[in-house]
Each structure stands twice: as C-alpha cells, then as structure tokens.
Amino acid sequence: MTKHGFTTKGNLATYFRLLKSVIPYWHIFAAGIVATIIASSTQAVMVWTVKPAVDKGLVNRDAKFLLILALFLVIILLIRGLTNFASNYCMSYVGRGIVMDFRQKIFSHLLSLPASFYDRQSSGKLLSLLIYNVDQLATATTDAVLTIVQQSFLAIGMTIVMLVISWHLTLFFMIFAPIVAGITNAMVKRQRKLAVAVQNSIGEVAHIARESISGYKVIRTFSGENYEKQKFNKATNANRHMELKVVVTNALGTSSIQIFLAVPLAIIIYLIAMNYLYISPGGFSAFSGAVLGLLTPIRRLTKISTTMQKGIAGADSVFALLNERAENDFGAKLLERAKGKIEYKNIVFAYPNAEQTIVLNNISLVIEPGQIIALVGHSGAGKSTLVDLLPRFYDIISGEILMDGINIHDYRLLDLRRQFSFVSQHIILFNDTIASNISYGKPNVTGKNLIKAAEAAYVMEFTDKLPDKLDSIIGEGGLLLSGGQRQRIAIARAILKDAPVLILDEATSSLDTESEHYLKFALEKLMSKRTTLVIAHRLSTVEKADNIIVLDHGKIVEQGAHRELIEVNGYYSKLYKMQFSE
C-alpha cells in the first residue's frame, strides 16, 4: 500500500489501459499522429539535402541547383511549420479532453463511495490525486505519445539518411546500440521507483497544506504556526529531494548515451582524417548532421520514460481509486414517503477495518411513527453510529433494520435517503448563496416555499439586514456568518426538505440564547409531524422526548420517559444530576 492507501503496480497493462482513454478522441489523435510523422520526416529530408548542397551546389558551383534547392527547403519548412502546429493542437485537445474525462469520472465515483472509504483517506491526498495525478495521465498519453512518435520517426529518418550515405559506417554505429539500450533500461527502472516517491511526496504536501488552511483558527489559538511551518517545510523539502533525484537520473542517463554516441563519431573523423576512409565532403557533412541529429531524439526518448513512469504511477493510483467498490445499492423497492416506523433488530456493528471493536452490540429498538426518540450516553457510546446506520452510511454485521416493516437494504438508496433530514452540530454549508444552501437538493423549489422555510427557521431575522438578502454569499463553510446563523440555515434546509424522519444532533448547540428561543418553537412544530431522533449531549433538551434511549459501550442500558428514568435512579439519572450539578 502507498501513502495514498492505493496499491501501485505499474506495468504495460496499466499503460495500455490508460491509452484506452484516447478512444473517444481517436480521429483527432490519429490526425495528430499523421501530422507528427510528416513534421519529423521533413527534418530528415532537410539533413539529407546537405549532401547535394555541398557536393553539387558548393563544390561544383551549380548556382541553378542551389536556387532550386533553396525553394525546395522553403516548401519543406512551410510543411514542417503547419504540421507541427497541427500535431501540437491535436494532442493538446486530446490531452485536455482526457484530463476532463478522468476528473469527471473520479469526482462522480467519489460521490458513490461508502463512508468507510472516507474514514481511511486523507482529503488532501484525494485532492492531489484529482488534480496532480490526473494531469500526469494526460502527459503520459498525449505528450509522451507525441514525443515517442515524433522522435522515433526522426531517429528512423536520420538512420535512413546515414544508411543511404554509407551503410558501412551506419553498421559501425549500431555496435554501440546495446550499450545505449542497457543505459535506457536502467534509467526506466530507476525512474519508476522515483515516480511513485514523487507522487507520494506531493500528496503529503497537499495533505498538510489543506489541514493547515482549514484549521487556521486552532493553529493560531494554540500557537502552532512554527510547528506547522516545520512540518510543511519538511514535506516540501522531501518533495524537492525526490524531484532532484529524477533530474540527476535523467542527466546521468542522457550524458552517458551522448558520450557513447560521440565515441564512434570521433573514430570516423579520425579515420577520414588519416585517409583510411573516403567520403565526399557533402556526404560527411550530411552523415555527421544525421549522427548529431540522432542525439536529440535519443535524449528526448530517454527522458520521456520519466514522463511515462509518472503517468503509470498516477494511473495506478487513479485506477485503484476507480476500482474501489461503490456503495451497495441492490434494493429495488420504491419508497415515495415513509410513514416513519423504524425497527432495529439485534443489531451488531463494527466499523470496517476495525471489525475486532464492536461498536453496537445486540441493539433492538422499535420507534413508532411520529415519536420523538432521544439518544443519550457518554462520548463513544454509539449514539451517532446508531443513526448513521439508518441512511445506510454503513452496513451492519448482523441483524436488520426495518423502515415501515421492510428491510432498508430492499429499498433503493436514493429513495431511502430521501426519507431523512439531518441537522448536526457540525454544520456543512457550501460557498454559495444562503438561498442555494437552504434549497440544496431541491433545485426546483419555488421562491414562496423557500422563504417559508427561511421564516420558520428565523433566517429572515438576519438576512433582511444583508444587502443581497437570501442571495448573499456565505463564504467557504459559511465563515462569513455566525455559528447561530449557520445553524438556522441548516435547520431551514431540513424544514424545506420535509422528510418523514428527522435526525437532530444537538441542533441548537451553536445558537445564542435568543436564537435558541426562536428555534425551540420552530423545531417543536417541525418535530410534531414526523419521527424524530435526537442525539443529545445536553440532557435538558430531551426532557419532552417520548422515549429516551440510554447507551453505554454500544448497548442499551436503559430506556423510558424522562420522569421514569429519574425515578429509577440509574445511569440516566446519574448523568442528569452530573450535568446539573455542574
């Protein structure tokens, strides 16, 4: 496993799977390849023209021939310029298309993954994968293929020029080919390891940066600036170190290849100078130009392996993510609006990857439609877990949960989750308008109904004072609003959804006394017509509940009305007295 949590095993199979992403753009891709081949061929033709230009044009002083040759070169350069533009544009078009396709596919898949996936992943590293890794895929598919085709045909063209001028000298050069191949192979193996290390280091940088940005208040309150700087500097230094290793590997490999190609060229020059070989001035000039022309494609082809290895490493991570199983949604039953009866039958649950720790143990509970149920207990008792099972954020180990007498696994997930409204103490709002946050999930809601929900949650009390009213932008996470204002928007969103089951996780925790007073009546009205589960930390908020479920270490230890539980003088009574004694 890598630091990303995904298995990486780069090979040709991965690369061929990556190349399949080109299929939707095959006609543009093919046009780019053809243009690239033509552009590369023109360079070999230009090198070949050196021989007749020197031998016939300069040595024999044939002015007419030089004029024709000059016009020919102008045409070749024009063709080269046009085909270079066409190849670059076509490949860029395909590359950006691949980036868009993969990002949309990954984002869509992320939205379908179970909660257990997010429990074990870093959001910073997922963002790094979505942005950096996907860019590497485009580079590996289009830029790499463009370079391979371009430089391969250039190398082939230069080799043909060499063979036409002197096949003996060309074969002499081929003696050094195995050495070049060996150096290239060693580079590829080294680059593969470094590519994975570079991606992991970038993911770590993104992870630390995101945590520091989102937690800036905590960092400043606890004077953690220096610690975070040191941590970030260490991560960026590690990334720089890995990137430099890539540079050194490329430089050593390329320089070694150039040296081994320079040796035979030096030998040939020596043999010609000593009259052991004869070749015309034009032939020698063209042959030398072809040999030197080989250096560029060889250098770029050895460097392109780095790009391909990065792309394969990125593809491994991306494909591993796409291979993650989406939520199980095998239910077929439709559910328009539930009556609200909920039954837990002998529920046993442990979080994925922590099966040895049982969180809920043999929970059985019946909730009638319209009842208000309070879940109380110390932190970690299983209150939030119990309600997280209702919309099937997690699947249970054994037992069953029924909604209106039917197992929740038999319902379509979309229909099941439509039955719940959720208001948490941890408010999730989006960097959009107040109106958009209230109507989230209901884009076609009428303005009248939206305003009605906003009024019921006393949102209008503060929006009327804003310049743009309900169209005011609230900032990332609603940071431009107070905690109480954010909570009122969350409650308005739940009111507008009008689901038959309401889940409140200390919904008034962020409100000031005045706001809490207003919302007390709004919540009572909202709760009176639906089944309500209240996760309570302040026991004073659940005294009117129809049934109070007391949890301890994943088991129901007591249940009943507030007065009954106080009279029993058990665990609930102890918690209640403890809070009020404080």
pLDDT at position 4: 42
Mean pLDDT of 353-378: 88
List the Cα angle 212/214/215 in 5-degree steps: 65
Banded pLDDT at 1 (limits 50, 70, 90)? very low
Summarize pLDDT for 311-321 with one digit per residue, the tens: 787 888 888 88
Banded pLDDT at 513 (limits 50, 70, 90)? low
Helices assigned H by DSSP within 49-111:
50-52, 63-110
**Please, which residues bridge with residue 555 across strands?**
552
Instruction: Name the residue among 322, 180, 196 with its Cα closest to residue 263.
Output: 180
pLDDT at position 531: 92
In this predicted structure, which of 58-62, 150-154, 295-299 has the lowest mean pLDDT? 58-62
Mean pLDDT of 363-378: 90
Calpha distance 299→450 (Å, rounded): 64
Q: Are strands 420-424 and 501-505 parallel, antiparallel or unpaired?
A: parallel
Distances (CA, A) of 184 to 178, 251, 296: 10, 12, 15
Query: Per-residue DSSP letters for 201-267?
Result: HHHHHHHHHHHHHHTHHHHHHTT-HHHHHHHHHHHHHHHHHHHHHHHHHHHHHHHHHHHHHHHHHHH
Tell the burial category of 360 from Cβ atoms under 10 Å away from its Cβ (0-12, 13-18, 19+): buried
CB 510 within 8 A of CB 485: no
pLDDT at position 83: 92
Mean pLDDT of 15-22: 83
Summarize pLDDT for 101-115 with one digit per residue, the tens: 988 898 888 888 888
Mean pLDDT of 189-196: 72
Residue 484 has pLDDT above 80, yes or no: no
Backbone φ, ψ for residue 325 (5° rounding): -70, 130
CATH architecture entry for 12-322: Up-down Bundle (1.20)
Q: Which residue has better confidence, 59 or 119?
A: 119
Banded pLDDT at 242 (limits 50, 70, 90)? confident
Rounded percentage of the chain residues whose pLDDT exceeds 90: 12
List the Cα angle 464/465/470 in 5-degree steps: 45
Banded pLDDT at 543 (limits 50, 70, 90)? confident
Q: Which residue has better confidence, 191 or 216?
A: 191
Q: Are strands 547-552 and 420-424 parallel, antiparallel or unpaired?
A: unpaired
pLDDT at position 390: 92
The residues, any chain, with a CB within 8 Å of residue 156's CB and separated by 6 or more, are 44
Q: What is the mean pLDDT of the chain?
A: 81
CATH architecture entry for 429-498: 3-Layer(aba) Sandwich (3.40)
Residue 28 has pLDDT above 80, yes or no: yes
Rounded percentage of the chain residues whose pLDDT exceeds 70: 87
CB 545 within 8 A of CB 374: yes
Backbone φ, ψ for residue 224 (5° rounding): -100, 15
The residues, any chain, with a CB within 8 Å of residue 512's CB and separated by 6 or more, are 484
Calpha distance 320→8 (Å, rounded): 8
Summarize pLDDT for 49-89 with one digit per residue, the tens: 887 777 776 766 777 777 888 888 889 889 989 998 999 89
In this predicted structure, which of 145-149, 209-213, 440-444 has the lowest mean pLDDT? 209-213
Summarize pLDDT for 319-344 with one digit per residue, the tens: 888 988 888 888 888 988 999 899 99
Dihedral angle at the C-alpha atoms of 118, 419, 347, 509, nearest 10 degrees? Answer: 70
In this predicted structure, which of 32-41, 56-65, 425-434 has the lowest mean pLDDT? 56-65
Residue 46 has pLDDT above 60, yes or no: yes
Mean pLDDT of 260-270: 74
Four-residue CA torsion sign, 441, 443, 448, 450? positive
Taking the alpha carbons at both ends of the chain, their separation in whole angstroms is 48
Other beta carbons within 10 angstroms of residue 26's beta carbon come to: 10
pLDDT at position 30: 92
C-alpha radius of gyration, the chain, whole number: 35
Domain boundaries, the chain: 12-322, 429-498
Calpha distance 501→527 (Å, rounded): 9
Banded pLDDT at 238 (limits 50, 70, 90)? confident
pLDDT at position 34: 93
In this predicted structure, which of 151-160, 368-377, 571-580 has the lowest mean pLDDT? 571-580
pLDDT at position 510: 53
